[in-house]
Chain A
Amino acid sequence: AQSVTQLGSHVSVSEGALVLLRCNYSSSVPPYLFWYVQYPNQGLQLLLKYTSAATLVKGINGFEAEFKKSETSFHLTKPSAHMSDAAEYFCAVTPNTGGFKTIFGAGTRLFVKA
Chain B
Amino acid sequence: KAGVTQTPRYLIKTRGQQVTLSCSPISGHRSVSWYQQTPGQGLQFLFEYFSETQRNKGNFPGRFSGRQFSNSRSEMNVSTLELGDSALYLCASSLTSGGAADTQYFGPGTRLTVL
B45 within 8 Å of A by Cβ? yes
Cα distance A45–B90 when bound, in Å? 12
Secondary structure dominating the interface of A: loop
Of the 9-residue stretches B69-77, B78-86, B96-104, which lies at the interface with chain A? B96-104
- Check A32 against B101 for contact (C-beta < 8 Å): yes
- Which residues of the other chain, B, contact A55 by a CB distance below 8 angstroms? none
Interface-forming stretch among B12-20, B60-68, B105-113?
Answer: B105-113
* Chain B contacts for A90, CB-based, 8 A: 43
The answer to whether B107 touches A43, judged by C-beta atoms less than 8 angstroms apart, is: yes
Q: Tell me if B43 and A32 are in contact (CB < 8 A).
A: no
Question: Is A105 a contact partner of B42 (Cβ separation < 8 A)?
Answer: yes
A61 contacts partner chain B, Cβ-Cβ < 8 Å: no
Contact of B98 among A51, A100, A106 (CB under 8 A): A100
Query: Which residues does chain B contribute within 8 Å of A42, judged by CB atoms?
Result: 108-109
Residues of B within 8 A of A99 (CB): 56
Measured in the bound complex, the distance between the Cα atoms of B106 and A105 in whole Å is 16
The number of residue pairs between A and B whose CB atoms lie closer than 8 Å in the complex comes to 54
Q: B43 to chain A: which residues have CB within 8 Å?
A: 90, 104, 107
A33 vs B59: C-alpha distance when bound (angstroms)? 22
- Residues from 94 to 109 in A contacting B, C-beta threshold 8 Å: 94-96, 99-107
Size of B's binding interface in residues, CB under 8 A: 24
A44 interface contact, C-beta 8 A: yes
Complex interface: chain A residues within 8 A of B99 (CB): 100
Query: Which residue of the partner chain B has the closest CB to A95?
Result: B100
* Residue B58, interface by CB 8 Å: yes
Q: In the assembly, what is the distance between CA of A43 and CA of B33, in Å? A: 13
Chain B residue contacts of A103, Cβ below 8 A: 45
Question: B45 touching A44 by the CB < 8 A rule?
Answer: no
Q: Given A43-B109, A44-B90, A100-B56, decide whether A107 and B104 contact each other with a Cβ distance below 8 A.
A: no
Chain A residues near B35: list those with CB within 8 A: 104
List of 8 A-B pairs having minimum Cβ-Cβ separation, nearest first = A43-B106, A104-B43, A51-B101, A44-B106, A94-B100, A100-B100, A106-B42, A32-B101
Give me the interface of A with B, judged by CB distance under 8 Å.
Answer: 31-32, 36, 41-46, 49, 51, 90, 94-96, 99-107
